[in-house]
Amino acid sequence: MKLRKMWFNINGADRMVVCCPEKDTLSDVLRRIGLTSVKVGCGTGVCGSCAVILDKKVVRSCNKKIKAVEEYSKIITLEGIGTPSNLHPLQVAWMNCGAVQCGFCTPGFIVSAYALLLENNNPTREEVRDWFQKTRNVCRCTGYKQLVDAVMAAAKVVRGEAKIEDITFQLPEDNECYGKPVVRPTALSKVTGLADYGEDMAVKMPGETLHVAVAQPRIAHHANILKIDTSEAEKMPGVVKVITYKDILANGGTNQMAEANLHERSTVTLPSRKILCDERIFRYGDVVALAIANTPDQARAAAAKVKVEIEQLPEYLNYLDAVLPDSIRVHDDTPNIFCLQPVLKGVALENADNVIKVLDESAHSVEGSFYSAREPHLSIEGCTVQAYFDEEDCLTFQCKSQGQYTSISRIGNSLGIPRKKLRIVNNFNGASFGWSTNAGDLVLAGAAAVAVNGPVALHMSYEEHQHYSGKRCPSYSNGRAACDENGKITAVEFDIGLDHGAYSWGGDHVIEKPVRFTFFPYHVPHVAGLGRVANTNHTFGTAYRSYGSPQAYTLSEALVDMLAEKAGIDPFDFRWLNIARLGETNINSFPFKDYPMEDMMNKMRPFYEKAVAEAKAADTPEKRRGVGLAWGGFNVTEGGTDQATIILELAPDNMILKYDTWQDLGQGGDIGSLMVTLEALKPMGVTSDRIRLIQNDTKVCPDSGMSAASRSHYMNGHATKIAAERLMNAMRKPDGTYRTYEEMVAEGIETKYEAQYLCTATPVIRIDPNTGVGDPTPAYTYVLNLAEVEVDTATGKTRVIRFVCIYDVGKIGNIDAVSGQAYGGISHSIGFALSEDYSDVKKHTNIAASGVPYIKDIPDEIILIPCDNPRSDGPFGSSGASEAFQSSGHVAVLNAIYNACGVRIYEMPARPEKVKAGLEILAKGGKIEPPQKYFLGSDLYEELENIKANPVVFRGDDMFTALGGSTDERFY
Ligand code: FES
Ligand code: FES
């Protein structure tokens, strides 16, 4: 290798670097000299996270070859813009405008904004948006609006029209912080580039650390493995070891990810996922071996030399193919459809096909079949893990985990390390939205660390991560809905098939969502519905914000619109007629917990009327305008088995230490934990500077549960209240004042208090596997979405020009954090409706190719209206937040497209070519028909009859104890 010495002026100082001109990129060199604010996400020039200023121009340093950079160039990175003790207004504004979530994109955005303000310190909002579009900066968390707010606020300071204090949130003197935009504790490290994310940690690990690359053959979706040949890989330079499943077995591991079977109708009997493939490849992204070497490049080069011989098997890349009668099994122990969940209500409880009569005899009915896409999460940071043995010989994972204790259960015995010797620590991380719930990347790194008995860093390219990680299950659904002559819904039937991909874990859970959220929150008297979940050979289904409910709304909110039209009623009025009123029940035959629906529609009405009037006025043959609505919502908590444990401790310096595993994936695990702790300790007058969060290290933090299911605020808040009461009771003196640490110790009083909150404190009832009757959540969240779109009839391209979301998530804990989830969820929904997909593994290899929205794809006008209704049983009146915001916004967009131009999109995403094809059919006087009714494995009513004839024993919450008691033992 030939090296070159070069000089650059970096952040104002002349610096000498040594680089490899043939290989190094500018980002390689900058990161190597310690400027790790330069984040590499995609590594292929499409995300902007690596943006730096090179001779006054913003460049993406990951694809700028160092040999193409002139010596003595001037380079500016975030480190040169501001430091913690001398922040630039942009950094202050980012912290105070809610512009920091995961923060992975933050350095690239601030660098880009800095260049903009050098050129134009008085930009309009649209000029800011044009600028970020030009510099190709992507933020997957925020939905962009708060980023533009931040630039506008900072620009005022730069122009001298405002002071830093004017754009800084001041903590209230009365300490009434709850609900206010208190700045996240981690924001400062993120805006200054000092937060070390996964690959930054890898750079900064001790020199002995080895590097791991995956051998991901990508030669088949389904095949028998005849031979794995590592001989050539082992001879590559710098290679220490190349391991296969045999090494994991030899080290005492089972090579099998642990799996739970938590549904009475699940036919899965064996864990479906291996760490490294042994006999079979089940999907394109499967990994067969790991190359461990002295450098990342050496590991990668060696992994590429692993050879695999296969015997091709039939490949089922979608649900419909996998459930055909002659399809072979994906997993030998179970039919491809591995779980069913019916839902019956009204006359259907006696006999499901009674519903047919109601549907047939109603004044109006509509039917349709719908496909919702395999939505990729598209976090900008992918898989990156470090694994090592700590001083107590615990196998420690520095990683991104959305459920640290669940991950320990998932790892189970797979690596041959006892569970009590597994430790998970979260790095700062570049978001997840659900994919990091399954511990797949952790076990790869763990297997390598065990094999070499030392520290390792696992690296994946974005493409490898994209193929390796799970995605949202696509759905195929058939449905019918009917109403009377006044527009009141009389009955519905639906049949929803979820494609869970190659592995089963989670399928028995996601199946419950369609039978809970289809037609939420309407009152439907009679329901015959079925959820089915099947294995295929595509990538596996996994958690994603609003897990399983977008598939339900894809069907129901389209049918509601279609039925309104058939009945000749305005879609807003039709919804008003049919929302549930106090005492009316959901499709699971239980009351909705709250009834904010009328209030929310009243709040939406003026926005709707304005949007309809404006759309009408702006509509032209070239640019059609339309307005669409969609109700949505989600559950709060994981139901009857949910628990959260936290610890509060009075420390020697009289600080209050809060220990928990409120995993922060950018959604705000840090600020959420701070807000509930502040509120719980308010009687004692504790201010935020007296609270120290100790989070997300399983060695010292108790199990607070997953950051999922909109549960964290509700569960952690309750647990924090209990612990705070215990601590304050212990500290309270007879005169009502509070003891200091010294006083507590002198009196021999305990200073550390653990508390656990169990979801069963508010009774919940699991969904009955025979009928779908049940009440499995202590709280709901509600959203009502409005999208206004413009369709270009020449190209078929849809632009969302305004989005309004009325929401009720109970009392708000931190408005910036909740708004961040709302903006972010809405931006994902828009992407889901129009562009996002991971169906073509050859094409959907990075965030751009998979349809991630750039800033100009998301409207700047997103209006959020909170209801802020306190919940009687929620901690401090709060409920949960997040998931509802991504439940149904996509259908509001699809309904708006129909309203604009008459093209109903039955199969997502609504890419321009699809809309254009619909316009052409209409132009020729044709009619756009729904897809032919999907065959989902059997006839709906025959299957419901079969379920009725073969009931399973409903074990309620005993299901979990019957399976073994503790969380760990539930996994086989
Ligand atoms: Fe460089 Fe994405 S554009 S890392
Ligand atoms: Fe922008 Fe997470 S905050 S990607």
Structure-token pair, residue 328:
């072979």
The atom of ligand 1 lying closest to the CA of 380 is: 2
* Nearest protein Cα to ligand 1, atom 3: 45
Q: How far apart are CA 387 and CA 389, in angstroms?
A: 7
How far is ligand 2, taken at its centre, from the CA of residue 83, in Å? 20
Determine whether the shortest distance from the Cβ of 60 to ligand 1 is under 6 A.
Answer: yes
Determine whether the shortest distance from the Cβ of 48 to ligand 1 is under 6 A.
Answer: yes
Q: Of 43, 155, 30, 167, which Cα lies nearest the Cα of 97?
A: 167
How far is ligand 1, taken at its centre, from the CA of residue 130, in Å? 19
Ligand nearest to C-alpha 47: 1
* 3 state DSSP class of 632: strand
CB-side neighbour CA atoms (13 Å) of 610 = 10
The atom of ligand 1 lying closest to the CA of 136 is: 3
Determine whether the shortest distance from the Cβ of 825 to ligand 1 is under 6 A.
Answer: no
Q: Residue 213: beta bridge partners?
A: 291
CA distances (Å), origin 332, targets 285, 314, 335, 735, 888: 20, 14, 8, 70, 36
How far is ligand 1, taken at its centre, from the CA of residue 50, in Å? 5
Q: Is the pLDDT of residue 915 over 80?
A: yes
Q: Where does CATH 3.90.1170.50 sit in the chain?
A: 210-315+377-468
Q: Residue 629: beta bridge partners?
A: 786
Determine whether the shortest distance from the Cβ of 42 to ligand 1 is under 6 A.
Answer: yes
Q: Give the model confidence (pLDDT) of 1-22 as tens digits.
A: 899 999 999 999 999 999 999 9
How far is ligand 1, taken at its centre, from the CA of residue 197, in Å? 15
Q: What is the mean pLDDT of residues 154-168?
A: 98
The atom of ligand 1 lying closest to the CA of 50 is: 1
**Cβ neighbour number for residue 309 with a 10 Å cutoff:** 12
Q: How far apart are CA 503 and CA 501, in angstroms?
A: 6
How far is ligand 2, taken at its centre, from the CA of residue 557, in Å? 30
Pick the CATH number of 4-80 from 3.40.50.880, 3.40.50.720, 3.10.20.30, 3.30.9.10: 3.10.20.30
Structure-token pair, residue 331:
């997993």
The answer for residues whose C-beta is within 8 angstroms of residue 598's C-beta and 6 or more apart is 576, 579, 581
- Residue 124 burial (C-beta neighbours within 10 Å; 0-12, 13-18, 19+): exposed
DSSP state of 217: -
Q: Is the pLDDT of residue 966 over 90?
A: no
Alpha helices in 432-582 (DSSP H): 440-452, 462-468, 507-510, 514-517, 549-567, 571-578
* 3 state DSSP class of 534: strand
Q: How far apart are CA 92 and CA 98, in angstroms?
A: 11
Q: Is the pLDDT of residue 651 over 60?
A: yes
Q: Is the pLDDT of residue 963 over 90?
A: no
Pocket test for ligand 1, best of 62, 111, 140, 381 (most atoms within 8 A of CB): 62
How far is ligand 2, taken at its centre, from the CA of residue 667, in Å? 10
Q: How far apart are CA 481 and CA 491, in angstroms?
A: 6
Element of type H or E holding 615: helix 597-618
* Nearest protein Cα to ligand 2, atom 2: 102
- Strand locations in 277-421 (E): 280-281, 289-293, 307-312, 337-345, 364-372, 384-389, 395-399
The atom of ligand 1 lying closest to the CA of 62 is: 1
- 8 Å CB contact between 485 and 363: yes
pLDDT score recorded for residue 965: 37
pLDDT score recorded for residue 759: 86
pLDDT score recorded for residue 957: 67
Ligand nearest to C-alpha 105: 2
- 8 Å CB contact between 882 and 876: no
Q: How far apart are CA 730 and CA 724, in angstroms?
A: 10
Q: What is the mean pLDDT of residues 26-39?
A: 98
Q: Return phi, psi of residue 515, to 5°.
A: -85, 5
The answer for residues whose C-beta is within 8 angstroms of residue 395's C-beta and 6 or more apart is 387, 388, 389, 415, 417, 421, 422, 423, 446, 449, 450
DSSP state of 532: E
The atom of ligand 2 lying closest to the CA of 430 is: 2
* Confidence label for 958 from pLDDT (cuts 50, 70 and 90): low
**Cβ neighbour number for residue 763 with a 10 Å cutoff:** 9
Ligand nearest to C-alpha 135: 1
pLDDT score recorded for residue 260: 76
Structure-token pair, residue 391:
């001083």
Q: Is the pLDDT of residue 969 over 70?
A: no
Instruction: Please give the CATH superfamily to which domain 210-315+377-468 belongs.
Output: Aldehyde oxidase/xanthine dehydrogenase, a/b hammerhead (3.90.1170.50)
Determine whether the shortest distance from the Cβ of 50 to ligand 1 is under 6 A.
Answer: yes
Q: What is the mean pLDDT of residues 46-51?
A: 98
pLDDT score recorded for residue 970: 44
Q: How far apart are CA 423 and CA 21, in angstroms?
A: 40
Ligand nearest to C-alpha 64: 1
Q: Where does CATH 3.10.20.30 sit in the chain?
A: 4-80
pLDDT score recorded for residue 960: 55
Query: What does the H/E/C string look like for 234-269?
Result: HCCCCEEEEECHHHHHHCCCCCECCCCCCCCCCCCC
Alpha helices in 394-512 (DSSP H): 404-411, 440-452, 462-468, 507-510
Lining ligand 2 with CB less than 6 A are 101-105, 139-142, 380, 431, 666
* Nearest protein Cα to ligand 2, atom 1: 139
Ligand nearest to C-alpha 107: 2
Determine whether the shortest distance from the Cβ of 848 to ligand 1 is under 6 A.
Answer: no
Determine whether the shortest distance from the Cβ of 956 to ligand 1 is under 6 A.
Answer: no
pLDDT score recorded for residue 956: 77
Give me the CATH topology for the region 643-758: Aldehyde Oxidoreductase; domain 4 (3.30.365)
Q: Is the pLDDT of residue 59 over 70?
A: yes
From 883, 920, 929, 943, active-site residue: 883
Determine whether the shortest distance from the Cβ of 59 to ligand 1 is under 6 A.
Answer: no
* 3 state DSSP class of 112: helix
Q: What is the mean pLDDT of residues 268-291?
A: 97
How far is ligand 1, taken at its centre, from the CA of residue 48, in Å? 5
Strand order in the sheet with 752-758: 691-695, 656-660, 643-650, 752-758
pLDDT score recorded for residue 968: 43
With tokens 């562009």, the residue in question is 835
- Check residues 261 and 639 and name the one with the higher pLDDT: 639
Element of type H or E holding 123: none
Q: Give the model confidence (pLDDT) of 228-263 as tens digits.
A: 999 999 999 999 999 999 999 999 999 999 987 789
The atom of ligand 2 lying closest to the CA of 49 is: 4
Q: Give the model confidence (pLDDT) of 681-706 as tens digits.
A: 999 999 999 999 999 999 999 999 99
CA-CA-CA-CA torsion sign (91, 94, 100, 105):
negative
The atom of ligand 2 lying closest to the CA of 141 is: 2
Q: Where does CATH 3.30.365.10 sit in the chain?
A: 643-758
CB-side neighbour CA atoms (13 Å) of 493 = 24
Instruction: Give yes or no for a cis peptide into 596 (omega within 30° of 0).
Output: no
Catalytic annotation on 883? yes
Structure-token pair, residue 915:
């809309």
CB-side neighbour CA atoms (13 Å) of 317 = 8
Q: Give the model confidence (pLDDT) of 775-785 as tens digits.
A: 999 999 999 99
